[in-house]
A and B are shown apart, each in its own frame.
Chain A
Amino acid sequence: MVLQEADNELTIDCLLLAGRIMIESGAETYRVEDTMLRMAHSQNMPNAQCYATPTGIIFSLGKTQPTRISSISSRVTDLQKIALVNSVSRRLTSHMITLEQAYDELKSIQKTNYFLPTYLQIFAAALASGCFLIMFKGGWSDFPIAVLAGGLGFLMLVLTNHLTKVKFFSEFTASLVLGFVAFFAVKYGYGTELDKIIISSVMPLVPGILITNAVRDLMAGHFMSGMAKGAEAFLTAFAIGAAIAVTLGF
């Protein structure tokens, strides 16, 4: 009996860790619940219940069995971690690996930083900004300014994320910087269309994953999570819009 309880503890730890990594990396809530329940069913826990929100997970084994809570404070977008946890859960449910192996793998996934080096991310953001300018029918003469504004904006995002944990502030400062870069470039004759430069260099900051996930959660019937994510996406968009409004006010 004691042995079984210790076993249960490990299983719950493993499931909660999997759910936690997924939510912290920005997965849809319904996918988190689905993954956790599948893993639980594969470990002979047919009565397991799970309730996930963007700020925490409640998991219970049902009846008089223990219930555990895991609260989550920070979320980023890291699609690679979602894919990795998904593959661990697939292998666990098809009994290709044992629970202990899955737990060890999950722990190493949680610790590892899978992001590309920062300079590559800034380069990607800058290049994407330039490409968006062409997609939105801007002229090639504005291409370097869009690249510069997008790159500096994303650099500012990374820097403020590093300095402070205040939410939405980093998006605000980033859009402020790229707005001013575009504004002064156009003012001193290095660029022509202020609107298109700002729109294209702001694109890497758009909360795309939040919007998609909010809608997918709403469609799956998870109204709490959907509304919460929608509010986060709205506030992010509002922070960007407010900063652009400040630069336009000059």
Chain B
Amino acid sequence: MHIMDIIIQLIVSFFATAGIAIIFNVPRKTLLHCGLVGVIGWIIYYILTEQGMDVVKASFFGSFVIAIVAHLYARRFKIPMIIFIVGGIIPLVPGGMAYNAMRNVVEDDYLQGLQYGLKAFLITGAIVIGLVFAEVIIQLIFRSVRSSKVKIQKVYKK
């Protein structure tokens, strides 16, 4: 893995995610941040797969981090979290696998097509689980932070 490759990936993933964000019409002031969310998710996925990790697991970690960053941005800008997530997960969507599945089915190779199709299904599931895990964890953290703040205030009042 060359350092130049990573830099190129950083740049292209920013423009790809920002382009998708423009198509979905995100608020103008958050365009840069949407691009950054995409860059973070993609670079984690890219490095993990380059290190030989399975695509399914790498997709899980990518979407997990995307959801955490999106949640922090959503709190900062006070707008729905979905705005930051959508652009970020598009690069992780298993378009290539779905394409290969379709291609093999067209070529009458149903077994191979089914194999690719199931892999695409697994990756989608991994992305979803990553998003859900991140959301649950971040809610737990914020709740415990809030309750400990309340406790500290009570102690001070006494």
Give A residues with C-beta under 8 Å from B. 27-28, 31, 77-80, 82-84, 86-87, 90, 114-116, 120-121, 124-125, 127-128, 131-132, 134-136, 154, 195, 198-199, 202-204, 206, 208-209, 211-213, 215-216, 219, 237, 241, 244-245, 248-249
Contact = CB atoms under 8 A, between A and B. Distances in A.
Given A127-B19, A131-B19, A204-B20, A82 B83 contact: yes
A154 B22 CA distance: 13
Contacts of A27: 80, 82
B91 A87 contact: no
B79 A208 contact: no
Nearest to B77: A83
Interface of B: 8-9, 12-13, 15-20, 22-28, 42, 46, 78-80, 82-83, 85-87, 89-91, 93, 95-96, 98-100, 102-103, 105-107, 124, 128, 131-132
Contact of B96 (A77, A79, A128, A199): A199
Contacts of A199: 95-96, 99
A87 B105 contact: no
A116 B15 CA distance: 17
A114 B102 contact: no
A203 B106 contact: no
B14 to A, nearest CB: 8
A241 B9 CA distance: 27
Contact of B22 (A86, A120, A202): A120
B27 A80 contact: yes
B98 A237 contact: yes
A32 B20 CA distance: 24
7 contacts: A31-B80, A83-B79, A114-B25, A121-B23, A135-B91, A244-B102, A245-B103
B106 A248 contact: yes
